[in-house]
Amino acid sequence: MDFVSFPILTQKVFGKRLVYLDNAATTQKPQVVLDAMKNFYETSNANIHRGIHTLAERATLAYEDARETVARFIGATADEVIFTSGTTQSLNMLVRMLGKNLHAGDEIVLTMMEHHSNLIPWRELAREKGLVVKFIPLTVGYTLNLGKARELITTRTKIVAFTHVSNSLGTINPVVELVDLAHARGALVVIDAAQSVGHLLVNVERLDCDFLVFSGHKMCGPTGIGVLYGKKKWLQELEPVFFGGGMVGDVSSGPERAVWLASSQRFEAGTPNIAGAVGLAKAITFLEERGIRQIEAHCVMLVEYAVSKLREISRVKIIGPNEGSLGIVSFTLDNIHPHDVAEILNKEGIAVRAGRHCTMPLMKELNLENGTTRASFYLYNTKEDVDLLVAGVRKVLEVFR
């Protein structure tokens, strides 16, 4: 679709054209994003919100413009957008922020398909505070069991936290149903949108979620920048959990508490990733120019094509839903270790992910101790990439005859 905009994709690996199918781990960066960040460092670099000089003003403007761009992109207002280093930091911060209001016996409902980032922080909090963590199981078709969700989400539930799109299975979860269920019981909803923002239209107002998190690097932006969205009414109530420069209105050497800034800046202690925010904003405009709906349709088409081709090979088992998978195809090849699969594919110039994809509980549940091989697509992938993947898989099966 847009191969030439991505300089890294023009290289060869082992003499073969690089076929990059590890987009669920991180996506490649278009030239315009690289240029925007270089340009920022060359023309505008300074610390933000502090200096009076020209560069400081320019940098502050660029950073706050980036916040506006992110807010518009997800249907939020700028004061509902907190910049973080990525999904993992967003979730860890949020867990600590929300944790202050949770008490022994309170329940948190997650799903069996959570990434460790949306699992371990809750589990740690639960251990410390005596909270109960429950998991919505899967159906045999690798989707969420909504019947069980209805049983598990009760008036004892304080938080329902789930991934929008599973990074291991590609399953798109029914956000609206889960949000309705949670809100009907008085629980807050946290959405891990690491695999969905930049891949399908995500509008926080329409989803009516309370919090939503994502990473810039999975949507053509740089690493080290991410977002924690929170509904204004909640952010106004919540206390920061990181402290330092740039987030206080007043502080003295006495025992009295510092006064935090009123804006979302009070959650951004210290010097943030300014160039990262600039890069993320550029990535957003790049994706918008190509059209999020078009990107989604393209990735769905590639998954359908890949699944239909892989299903022609009897030794392949697809680990994911029959329909409604977003850009991700997970599979096993007999009992061949996924690391062996990935190694042979790498020799063909094909980059895939092998293993448990930071979803160990899910892999245990599926009796896939070694995990799966995962091909994940984005806007620059083509049907030819899929053909090369399928040819590579046939080669693996030749080796392990």
Which residue ranges make up the site for ligand PLP (CB under 6 A)? 24-25, 86-88, 115, 117-118, 163, 167, 192, 194-195, 215
At 193 the three-state DSSP class reads: coil
Q: Residue 165 phi/psi, 5° resolution? A: -130, 130
CB 222 within 8 A of CB 279: yes
Instruction: State the nearest-atom distance from the C-beta of 54 to ligand PLP, in Å.
Output: 34
- Least distance from ligand PLP to the Cβ atom of residue 21, Å: 15
- Closest-CA residue to 192 (of 172, 206, 221): 172
Residue (118 or 143) nearer to ligand PLP, CB: 118
Based on CB atoms, which residue is closest to ligand PLP, 91 or 396?
A: 91
CB 326 within 8 A of CB 166: no
In the residue annotation, 358 being an active-site residue is answered as: yes
Of residues 45 and 223, the one with the C-beta less far from ligand PLP: 223
Report, in Å, the least distance between residue 121 CB and ligand PLP. Answer: 11
DSSP string over 117-168: GGTHHHHHHHHHHT-EEEEE-B-TTSSB-HHHHHHH--TTEEEEEEESB-TT
Taking the complex as a whole, how short is the minimal distance between the CB of residue 115 and ligand PLP, in angstroms? 3
- 41 φ, ψ (degrees, to nearest 5): -70, -30
Residue 92 or 157 having the CB closest to ligand PLP: 92
Q: Nearest CA to 87 among 168, 172, 192?
A: 192
DSSP H or E run through 92: helix 87-99
**Given 209, 220, 299, 358, the catalytic residue:** 358
Instruction: Kindly tell me which of 88 and 373 has the beta carbon lying closer to ligand PLP.
Output: 88
**Distances in whole angstroms, Cα of residue 219 to Cα of each of 2, 158, 222, 287, 301:** 14, 31, 9, 8, 18
Least distance to ligand PLP, CB of residue 213, Å? 8
Q: Report the alpha-carbon distance of residue 211 to residue 189 in Å, rounded.
A: 6
156: Cβ contacts below 8 Å, ≥ 6 apart: 105, 106, 107, 132
- Amino acid type, 215: S
Compare residues 298 and 374 and give the one whose CB is closer to ligand PLP: 374
CB of 137 to ligand PLP, least distance (A): 18
Contact (CB, 8 A) for 1 and 378: no
- Report, as residue numbers or ranges, the catalytic residues: 358
